[in-house]
Amino acid sequence: VSTQSTGDVLSEFNKKLFAFHMSLHPSNLSEQFLHLLVTGTASMDLENFLVHTLKEKEISNLLQSTMQSYEGIEKLIAQNFMCCCYALATQLQFLLGMSRWYDKYGELGLKEDAVQDSINKLSGLMIKAQEMLQCISHSKARLSSFLKWLLKATISLSDGNSATVKITEDELNLVVKFLKTGNLFATRADTSHFNIDTVWQYFSEENILVPPEYYNNKILDT
């Protein structure tokens, strides 16, 4: 999975969105997009931005590369990483049992607390992997809908054949939610920027910027 190249494309896309957003004061990009979605018309500034800055080809490439990366990461986690975790969990359970049978395995020097701590850490890692799978599932639906709509709108503003891009009513509803929730333009206090994606934050050493929807679930948060 070429996470680096897709991450770079997303980063550049975010920078363009943020730069245009900063030029719109007192309006903002979310309002501009919602107006375009509802009325089918765009301001001259937004039209120029979509047609000449973001460009049809770049939006199409971003849509394709992002979805391919999502699917690749999803496959690696579900089919490879989680299988390894389950196998490791089984072996750790064996070690836990051996650590408790001191008369037979005491010479191995196994410490029950140390083995249990490893089991707990592995469990936390598996929960985080499941969290990422859910994040990928949500992001695939929302980001693909947003980019498809943006591509269709850009083609239409360029007087092209926008009918080549098919988008359903459910996808349009996701676009509305995507624009109105605020997650589209998440910012950090120290480095304000746009973040149209929530998956790539898991590849950063920084804290999660946009937590999953079940973030306040006390069972998963322990």
Residue 190 pLDDT:
38
Residue bearing the bigger pLDDT, 49 or 10: 49
Q: Tell me the average pLDDT of the chain.
A: 85
> CB-based burial of residue 148 (10 Å sphere; 0-12 exposed, 13-18 middle, 19+ buried)?
buried
User: Residue 15 pLDDT more than 50?
Assistant: yes
Residue 72 pLDDT:
92
**Cα angle 15-171-21, degrees, rounded to a multiple of 5:** 25
Residue 17 pLDDT:
87
Enter the pTM of the model.
Answer: 0.78
- d(C-alpha 155, C-alpha 40), whole Å: 12
